[in-house]
Structure 1
Amino acid sequence: MRSSNPVFSRRGFTRGDSYAGFDAQGAQGAAGARPQGGNPYAQPAGNPYGQPQQGGNPYAAGPPLTPEQMEEMYAGPSAGPAQTGRMTMDDVVVRTGMTLGTVVVGAVLGWVAIPDRIGLAVGAALVAFVLAMIQSFKRVPSPPLILGYAAFEGIFLGVISNAYNEQWQGAPVQAVLGTMAVFAGMLFAYKTRLIRVTARYARIGMAIAIGFLLAMVVNLLFAAFGSSDGLGLTTGPLGIVFCLLGIGLGAFFLSLDFKQVEDGIRYGAPRNESWLAAFGLTLSLVWIYLELLRLISILRD
């Protein structure tokens, strides 16, 4: 059963070998590579994000905006896309709503129209995986790819959720509520700076995530060619530990998503990159939902 986020190395607002304004060594980029106070969108000579717009791009020079300045911008009158062309929180919210709405529509279709057809669910999951991987390697966000991923992922979730509900009544509702709780908790922790996303934090989390995925792949291989329970990572006490680890990794991915959104707004990312934010948030929420479904099934057994 597919229970992991297919894109560990999300582009988001990353440029080159850096993540969210940090280079691969965990420090701010060198002066030649990260000018103007570390703004990843203010590259010299050819950076399309650093060109003057409507009398000068305020993000093309000087240090990044302070939280107080960002609050003032949010409180002021909104500028239309033609005036700025930059990503806003409204853009992220709208695109995320569209992407998650497509997931929900697909899930309803999978639940009602194609119940008990696990083969079709697996096929939909594979199509969603391929679309997600294509988008992850593209240089620019593609709304059709992202919405197509959401639709097929939704069908997969609908069929799987129906199967779980027949075996463990109410499990999908519990998983949805749990996913919402994890999202709210991580958003609160990020906004209050209980969690600070740094390059080191990202590297450690990604290393754990890669180890988690490799362990699940090995478990699947043992289940296919050896013991039916594999290494026991999906059942019993060890299964509970791995489910909790998976949920924790989903929360980690959410923190990366929040950082990407914050940096994209602060540094004046192009408006269409809000689709990448919606894509990343959807991947993380789907991951958490699937891990919660597995956890609930183990606990109720």
Structure 2
Amino acid sequence: MRSSNPVFSRRGFSRDNGGYAGFDAQHQQAGTATNPYATNPYATDPATGMPQAPVRANAMTMDDVVSRTGMTLGVLILTAALSWILLPVDPANLGKSYAIGIGAALVAFVLAMVQSFKRKPVPALILGYAALEGVFLGVISAATSTYLSPGVVIQAVMGTMCVFAAVLLAYKMGWIRVNRRFTGFVMAAAMGFILLMVANSLFAIFGGGDGLGFRSGGLGLLFGAIGVILGACFLALDFKQVEDGLAYGAPREEAWLAAFGLTLTLVWIYLEMLRIFQILSGDD
């Protein structure tokens, strides 16, 4: 299936030119009317419940997903820690550190966009995104810890881990069913959320303050909670994407795509959590 992230649209697992998914256009056409995942090259045959794709010798495994995700998150955490240590956030240097952090975030955005339009995952782009995003997160987290409370960052990290664990449990227990309706609702909600945040940022830039007030006070808490819920929904889409790839023979290289998607979603959730705890700490 096609899965998407709150920030960047990305493709799901796809067939290569050789058609490794193992079924032809006739199968696709026959399944379209009855199978909501008919566009998925790894979709289940609605009549038999069995995979339509043959098992591949170089198919992706859970170990591949875990190792690639661990590597990507490890790079992000490492650069975040280094930027926290090496980029001072005292009043005399805060502006410079913020400039470096924002610059790194913009380049990370470009790398993520390039990867999202690639037919195949490119590890160098994914790891480059993780490294630069880590710089941004390190600066933001260091400033938050310095000018608010060290506990705010720890709370945001713990909150992100709890959301991940809760969604994984709910998904494995079958409490969350990812289908076309779920995907469409999440995508529409995320688009509206992003547009509101962009509008709020523009008003803040040109009007000063917090713009429309969506990121401070009671509204800030409400929209922060909505952001976390959307991130949780995208985690469910990521889990479904990984599950489909494992079940229906995605090539091993596609584990990088899973790592990329999970990293993007976890960064989203962490930033929303950080904002929520900032507001609760008294900094609107």
Q: TM-score range by the shorter chain?
A: 0.7 to 0.9
Matched, 1:128 2:108: yes
Letter in 1 for 2:268: W
Matched, 1:6 2:7: yes
Letter in 2 for 1:120: I
Letter in 1 for 2:7: P
Letter in 1 for 2:65: V
1:269 alignment partner, SS class: coil
In the TM superposition, 1:169-208 aligns within 5 A as: 169=149, 170-208=151-189
1:291 maps to which of 240, 261, 272: 272
Matched, 1:154 2:127: no
Matched-pair contact (CA < 8 Å) for 2:79–2:132: yes
In the TM superposition, 1:174-253 aligns within 5 A as: 174-253=155-234
| Whole-angstrom distance in 2 between the partners of 1:64 and 1:158 | 46
Matched-pair contact (CA < 8 Å) for 2:59–2:251: yes
| Whole-angstrom distance in 2 between the partners of 1:249 and 1:35 | 28
Higher mean C-alpha displacement, 161-170 vs 178-187: 161-170
Matched-pair contact (CA < 8 Å) for 2:186–2:233: yes
Q: How many Å apart are 1:226 and its aligned residue?
A: 1.5
Q: How many Å apart are 1:115 and its aligned residue?
A: 2.8
Matched, 1:92 2:73: no
Q: How many Å apart are 1:42 and its aligned residue?
A: 6.4
Structure 1 residue ranges (4+ consecutive) displaced by more than 3 angstroms after TM superposition: 32-43
Q: How many Å apart are 1:203 and its aligned residue?
A: 0.4
Matched-pair contact (CA < 8 Å) for 1:13–1:264: yes
Matched-pair contact (CA < 8 Å) for 2:203–2:212: yes
In the TM superposition, 1:261-300 aligns within 5 A as: 261-300=242-281
Residues 265 and 215 of structure 1: CA distance in aligned 2, closer, same or farther (over 3 Å)? same
| Whole-angstrom distance in 1 between the partners of 2:59 and 2:121 | 15
> What is the identity percentage for the equivalent residue pairs of Structure 1 and Structure 2?
56
2:85 maps to which of 81, 91, 112: 112
2:174 alignment partner, SS class: coil
| Unaligned stretches of 5+ residues in structure 1 | 16-27, 44-58, 66-72, 74-82
Q: What TM-score does the superposition give when structure 2 sets the normalisation length?
A: 0.83
| Whole-angstrom distance in 1 between the partners of 2:249 and 2:212 | 47
Residues 42 and 241 of structure 1: CA distance in aligned 2, closer, same or farther (over 3 Å)? closer
- 1:65-84 Cα offsets, whole Å, 9 max, x none, are 5xxxxxxx9xxxxxxxxx81
What residue in structure 2 maps to residue 166 of structure 1?
A: 146
| Whole-angstrom distance in 2 between the partners of 1:105 and 1:234 | 28
Matched-pair contact (CA < 8 Å) for 1:39–1:267: no
Matched-pair contact (CA < 8 Å) for 2:83–2:139: yes
Q: What TM-score does the superposition give when structure 1 sets the normalisation length?
A: 0.78
What residue in structure 2 maps to residue 70 of structure 1?
A: none
| Unaligned stretches of 5+ residues in structure 2 | 16-26, 90-96
Matched-pair contact (CA < 8 Å) for 1:86–1:268: yes
| Whole-angstrom distance in 2 between the partners of 1:293 and 1:225 | 25
Letter in 2 for 1:254: L
What residue in structure 2 maps to residue 30 of structure 1?
A: 29
Matched, 1:143 2:123: yes
Matched-pair contact (CA < 8 Å) for 1:34–1:40: no
Q: How many Å apart are 1:109 and its aligned residue?
A: 1.1
Q: How many Å apart are 1:228 and its aligned residue?
A: 1.5
| Whole-angstrom distance in 2 between the partners of 1:207 and 1:29 | 26
Q: How many Å apart are 1:40 and its aligned residue?
A: 3.3
